[in-house]
Structure 1
């Protein structure tokens, strides 16, 4: 539920601003503002990311296929940057939403001195906090 707070706030704020603009006689500006806020909501929603799995399942799968595990949370600008830069390759990684999985959040805190800093990418058992997306793409290309 917490993952949807930011997208819902974007839609509500955009709706409020658009209503004010439309009632003030600017329907074109109202439509543009509403569209902008809906796009912001979409980019910050969990729907943009591949389906999340639990941390234990991600670790098990990563051990079997060598693919990276990406710990993320909705609304994180750095996670969005990583996701968009990976493009279609993002589906090859194992994604763990730390807001939905307490074990994932714990794994991130262990890797980052008690902080829930995301994205944290684990490759071959080694955590990398906010890595360069090009490096992550290389790791995805080398995985089975």
Structure 2
């Protein structure tokens, strides 16, 4: 749980330091700009950008019931963030599993990726897809089931 927030926390600490340095040099406007940039980066790399995660078993159960894909992800993953941002509002239609919070999810990812925790990994109709194209994922979410 703690490592999920390490990157965003580090960005906030560095941003605060940079902003303090700018204030000390008499540049309050630059300090505000830097601080806002670092806060934005911390927010984007935090788990807050992603829909609320569920456990792998619950995600698979829900997927079997409603036919929606399951996305295995982890905070700090740039490919996961790219997928999340490209999906926009459609991201809420998928079942998101944070593999750092759910050992069963991490195990499921390792099983389909030769022992590696490569994310994002999607399960669509029981079949795994590693780092799929976001446009293809949008089609899967938009298509009627």
User: Common fold, TM-score beyond 0.5?
Assistant: yes
How far is the alpha carbon of 1:142 from its aligned partner? 1.9
Matched length: 144
Hey, what's the Cα distance between the residues in 2 that align with 1:14 and 1:71?
A: 30
Cα-Cα RMSD: 0.8
Name stretches of at least 5 consecutive residues in structure 2 with no aligned partner.
Answer: none
How far is the alpha carbon of 1:97 from its aligned partner? 0.2
After TM superposition, which residue ranges in structure 1, 4 or more long, deviate above 3 angstroms?
A: none
Hey, what's the Cα distance between the residues in 1 that align with 2:144 and 2:40?
A: 33
Hey, what's the Cα distance between the residues in 2 that align with 1:22 and 1:111?
A: 51
TM-score normalised by structure 1 residue count: 0.97
TM-score normalised by structure 2 residue count: 0.97
How far is the alpha carbon of 1:77 from its aligned partner? 0.5
How far is the alpha carbon of 1:28 from its aligned partner? 1.0
Whether the 8 Å contact between 1:65 and 1:143 is mirrored in structure 2 is no
The 1:64–1:143 alpha-carbon spacing in structure 2 relative to 1, beyond 3 Å, is farther
How far is the alpha carbon of 1:143 from its aligned partner? 4.7
